[in-house]
Amino acid sequence: MTDSSRTLDVCNLEFQWPDEEMQIGEYTFVPVEDYETRYLNLQHLVTVHGGHHGTVEACTGTHQITGTIVCPEEHRVAALGWGHEIPTELDDILLLLSLFTRRKVFALDPGEEEPVVIADPRMFHYGGGLRLSLGKVKRENESGHEDYSIDLQGGVGNVNQLIRSTAWRSTYGQGSFVLLFVAACHRQILETSFLLCWTIWEHLYAQLHAGQKTMKHIAKTHAREKISHILQRYGVRQSVPAAHEQKLKELVKMRNLLVHDGRLPSEDSQEVADIFVRLTEMILAVILGLSPSNVFSAEERFDRFLNNQQLI
């Protein structure tokens, strides 16, 4: 535990409402006075008209200090398995905010006057389905109509509370797969995101069978069986009949070819890899206590793959 009463600058955080602070765990997030200007100077991939931000023009954008964090006097230890020394609950919350806003959200070190920022300022490529798994909140605007927003405060607060619970940690340990999925969401080649998500599925299988099977047994279990188990465990499929088991073998073969050849060789294989990442989003939503959004039709697209139907 670290004694602290610091106020930290936070970068790239999209607030639930541009003029309201958010309370998540023991931390209060306060938007800066010129938040709307800072928000417009973040990266935006498309121009949007309407909503409580008005018109938002597409732009390359840069990192922006969008708010401050009022910290508690003492930081609780992190729930997730970070690699640096003395990680705190704030590390977990900033990671969750990154995951649900699709931007790298981070706090600046107050000891550095001109910090060299190495974080990527671009919006994540994946994670949109997970973001839409959060609930929505509304409030009346000046014209008497209702504005809607993703419930970041309530949603992230609930997820943060869940991952700190004894029941969640007894099943998922330090939740290393959450950190892996954030890495998979970044804007990069599809092969990287796909392999990271494959690692998540393998890790989840091992985590779910810890204490039931030895690591040697888990390592020898065919990847097809692991994929089948995860699909059914998290409700993507009610069952996996024999005809579909063969397609899962093809999925495993595709992954093995990628590991040895270094690329996805066809448009169909790229489509299957994208489906796999989207299914991982839905599984993460379930694990984090949310109702998964199928906005990208991952389940229907996966059905087409399993049933040998045209994908593209």
Residues 200 and 118 in one domain: no
Rg, C-alpha atoms of the chain: 21
Residues 115 and 204 in one domain: no
Which of 111, 128, 163 is the last residue in one of the domains?
A: 163
- Distance, CA of 271 to chain centre: 20
Query: Is 183 a member of any domain?
Result: no
Residues 13 and 159 in one domain: yes
pLDDT tens, N- to C-terminus, the chain (312 residues): 344 458 999 999 999 999 999 999 999 999 999 999 999 999 999 999 877 788 999 999 999 999 999 999 999 999 999 988 899 999 999 999 999 999 999 999 887 778 889 999 999 999 999 999 999 998 887 777 888 889 999 999 999 999 999 999 999 999 999 999 999 999 999 999 999 999 999 999 999 999 899 999 999 999 999 999 999 999 999 999 998 999 999 999 999 999 999 999 899 999 999 999 999 999 999 999 999 999 999 999 999 999 999 987
Residue 244 confidence (pLDDT): 94
Residues 143 and 209 in one domain: no
Q: Tokens 């959004």 correspond to what residue?
A: 293
Query: Is 311 a member of any domain?
Result: no
Query: Is 66 a member of any domain?
Result: yes
Nearest C-alpha neighbor of 169 from the set 251, 79, 75: 79
Residues 15 and 145 in one domain: yes
Residues 217 and 89 in one domain: no
Task: Flag whether the pTM goes above 0.85.
Answer: yes
Residues 152 and 242 in one domain: no
Nearest C-alpha neighbor of 301 from the set 284, 285, 277, 265: 277
Domain count, the chain: 2
Residues 65 and 142 in one domain: yes
Q: Which pairs count as long-range contacts for 220-223, CB under 8 Å and 24+ apart, including other chains? A: 222/252, 223/252, 223/255
Amino acid letter, 202 = E
Residues 227 and 292 in one domain: yes
Residue 229 confidence (pLDDT): 96
Nearest C-alpha neighbor of 103 from the set 87, 118, 125: 125
Q: Which domain holds residue 299?
A: 189-306
Which of 148, 163, 178 is the last residue in one of the domains?
A: 163
Query: Is 130 a member of any domain?
Result: yes
Residue 85 confidence (pLDDT): 87
Residues 12 and 158 in one domain: yes
Residue 84 confidence (pLDDT): 87
Query: Is 175 a member of any domain?
Result: no
Which of 129, 163, 197 is the last residue in one of the domains?
A: 163
Contact between 49 and 31 under an 8 Å Cβ cutoff? The reply is no
Query: Is 172 a member of any domain?
Result: no
Residues 158 and 246 in one domain: no
Residue 5 confidence (pLDDT): 55
CA distances (Å), origin 204, targets 20, 31, 109, 171: 37, 37, 34, 10
Residues 146 and 53 in one domain: yes
Nearest C-alpha neighbor of 124 from the set 189, 185, 59, 47: 185
